Amino acid sequence: MNIFEKIIAREIPATIVYEDGDTLAFMDIGPIIKGHTLVIPKTCYDPVTETPDEVLAKLMLVCKRIAAAQIKGLGADGSNIIQNNGSAAGQVVPHIHFHVIPRFEGDGHRWNWNAKKYDSPAEMEKLAAKIREGLAG
């Protein structure tokens, strides 16, 4: 059982903010910004590419509700909704989850959004062609 399945089974405690038949939302113990909430399905899927469309759709609707509740309840000015896949992307818990992170003007958090440049338009086009191939396959 992964740590989130233990939370679902109430084997370990969590501070739950929302629950329905398929979904659980609870406070992240290591908040990027206080109020950081995790949204998970009660059935374990991982990664996003192996998660059924209807499960993803439901998760995103709950994320939307949590983000709205962070604005209304916490006075947040915005949010980041993040979902990591694989250790290369920084994923730690192998159970699909969305991070809904409330953001406040002047909260001081900065993502290390280290934007790069393509060597040329041709390089960008070459990579786009490979993604299109992936979409077609």
- 28 binds ligand 5GP, rule: CB under 6 A: yes
- Name the residue number minimizing CB distance to ligand 5GP: 30
- 63 binds ligand 5GP, rule: CB under 6 A: no
- 100 binds ligand 5GP, rule: CB under 6 A: no
DSSP assignment of the chain equals: --HHHHHHTTSS---EEEE-SSEEEEE-SS-SSTT-EEEEESS---SGGGS-HHHHHHHHHHHHHHHHHHHHHH--SEEEEE---SGGGT--SSS--EEEEEE-TT------------S-HHHHHHHHHHHHHHHH-
Give yes or no for a contact between 94 and 2, defined as CB atoms under 8 angstroms apart: yes
- 48 binds ligand 5GP, rule: CB under 6 A: no
Please report how close the Cβ of residue 49 comes to ligand 5GP at its closest, in angstroms. 15
Question: Catalytic residues, which ones?
Answer: 97
Among 30, 108, 121, 137, binds ligand 5GP (CB under 6 A): 30
Give yes or no for a contact between 45 and 55, defined as CB atoms under 8 angstroms apart: yes
Applying CB under 6 A, the span of 20-28, 65-73, 102-110, 128-136 interacting with ligand 5GP comes to: 20-28
- 16 binds ligand 5GP, rule: CB under 6 A: no
- 39 binds ligand 5GP, rule: CB under 6 A: no
Residues binding ligand 5GP (CB under 6 A): 3, 14, 26-30, 38, 84, 90-93
